[in-house]
Chain A
Amino acid sequence: MLPVIELAVFAALVVTPFLLADRTDLITLVTNVIILSLLALSFDLCWGFSGIMSFGQALFFGVAGYVVALVGRDLEFSQLWATLPLAMLVGGLLAAGLAVFLLLGKRTPSSIFVAFGTLTGAYAAERLVAGWQYVGAGNGLSAIRLMAFGDYEFVEGVEFYAVALAALALVYAASRYLVRSQMGLVLAGMRQNEERLAFFGYRVQVFKALVFSFAGMIAGLSGALYSYHQGFTGPSNLGPGLSTTAVIYCLFGGSGTLIGPVIGTAAIEVLSYVLADTDAIRQFWPVILGVVLLVVVAFQPSGLLGLLVSSRERIGSYGARKAVR
């Protein structure tokens, strides 16, 4: 069932531009969904696959967004073959640094401390950026230099959509390889019983730090694409607000699967787009998000995908099926 859903989602994303070629606003919406689902995916790798409750995914997202904006402004350079890897490097290094501080060390930190650490990081960064004139303080950076490849500049539209979709496909393939590899098997073991894995001799915290850094890279890529696409980045792009939105995307879709965050992001963003026309609902949209999160957390922890896919399949199996001799 799961591969069918994955295929269906990607097939839908591939045909979308052909169906909506004359509706630029809808193309923009779906591009946004793709970019944000990268962020949700990076949160899912932390929480769904390695048990780190990260309230700070937007930190890597936002900082990478600011970095590409500043590179565009001060160096007048925005070639995607260099800036997107740079964004991934920034996000990955930042996440690795935070992971070393929060996770590694003689004493094993409690999961609550790690959650607060990521929250505090994002919160402190938001406050710092909001007061820092060089990066535009509270107003953020607008009119970001367009993402380019050679002489071609990407504006909102089908071409940008193609770049975003390619990024999502690559990241998805890499994540899928990761969680189905031998390392993914260790991660699955950690989810079941972290202490036991530690007694087996696995350095649980090192594995967590690795996945966290990888997730930071993805969040960085997502943030760079988001900045280029919006042409704007501001302090709220790296605060706890966006981080928790990513949490809602992921949990609503179904954490612990890779396709879940993509579905969750699409469902919530499309719903928000449809409902935004009604004034009464738009004002209380955050309340609806809160109710969604509460219902998912209390009654349906496996999210939307849990309605379709059995938990046996969500957890998955490892290695090739061999006949037992």
Chain B
Amino acid sequence: MDFAVKFAFDILAFTSVMVLVVLGLGVIASMMGIFNFAHGELVLLGAYTVYLSSELGLGTWPGLLAAPVVVGLIGLVLERTIIRRFYKAPIIAMLGTYAIGLIIREIVRGLLGGHYKSIPEPIGGAFSIGGLEFSIWRTMIIAITLAVIAGIYLLLARTSIGLRVRGALENPMLARACGISTGHLYALTFTFGAALAGLAGALIVPLYQLSADIGIRFLVQAFLSVMLGGVGTFEGPVIGAAAVGSLAAWLPWVVTPVLADPLVFVIALAIVRLRPQGFITVGRL
């Protein structure tokens, strides 16, 4: 029983990380129809912000708070200068964002000098319930993930910005005819997605060591999650991420880890092949 609870907690923590990474990706993919290959590098930049602030002697907290803002602004600049050229051609957008990701990743690799850096958890230690130890920071990640999901849902469902976003998603042409500037909305969406990536990077860096490849390790899983859940919905990517995340955490217990890792991808791809519209099809945003 103890083991089961602990195991469930670990799966939940890993799934939360996946959801955080996937949310930003899903928002951008739903709204503009492009899959952002540079998303992993935006996560990396969030992590790097935390590293910088702790290097400067400020501790990790200022970096943690600044990460979404900094990465969001970088996202805004990228969208205004480069990404907006690619909206009409999703495949070309993959190549373009891949190039941006490559540039960011290799610059950061150069700055880090190829070393792995460990960042201490902003709130270390553990608390115990009924004799079981739970890491405080992982619990924080789960809580923040839930808060972010709730916040985005409220933003989309209850505010006028959310209404405009839903309108532009449903029918961009009609939205433009109604006087909604889809260009601004796309810039806003991309900034928001990038900020989410920055937050994800800042939150997960204490769990994994900081290296230039911290973002890319989640990228393929994140893409599959978005496709699995269904592009164009809010719940889809979250459910997809939960499915892929728990599959990735659970499968190594069933088959040998060597085989489990690739098997996650094959299973997810096979499901997408059989159900290309994703899990969620009714009640699109």
Binding site for B on A (CB under 8 A): 53, 101-102, 105, 107, 109-113, 115-117, 119-121, 123-125, 127-128, 131-132, 244, 247, 251, 283-284, 286-287, 289-291, 293-294, 297-298, 301
Contacts and interface: CB of A to CB of B under 8 A. Distances in A.
Contact of A128 (B103, B224, B258): B258
A101 B273 CA distance: 8
B140 interface: no
Interface of chain B: mostly helix, strand, loop or mixed: helix
Interface in B267-285: 268-269, 272-273, 276
A128 B261 contact: yes
A301 B92 CA distance: 9
27 contacts: A105-B273, A110-B276, A113-B273, A113-B276, A115-B94, A116-B223, A116-B269, A119-B223, A120-B223, A125-B262, A128-B258, A128-B261, A131-B258, A132-B258, A244-B102, A286-B106, A287-B102, A287-B103, A290-B106, A293-B95, A293-B96, A294-B100, A297-B92, A297-B99, A298-B82, A298-B96, A301-B92
A50 B272 CA distance: 23
A291 B99 contact: yes
A251 B98 CA distance: 14
B80 to A, nearest CB: 14
A297 B259 contact: no
B92 to A, nearest CB: 6
B51 to A, nearest CB: 20
B161 interface: no
Contacts of A110: 276
Given A116-B227, A132-B258, A293 B276 contact: no
A115 B98 contact: no
Contacts of B106: 284, 286-287, 290
Contact of A113 (B95, B262, B272): B272
B262 A124 contact: yes
A67 to B, nearest CB: 18
Contacts of A112: 35, 90-91, 94
Nearest to A283: B110
Given A53-B94, A116-B227, A131-B258, A290 B82 contact: no
A238 B94 CA distance: 20
Given A283-B110, A294-B100, A53 B91 contact: yes
A107 B151 CA distance: 37
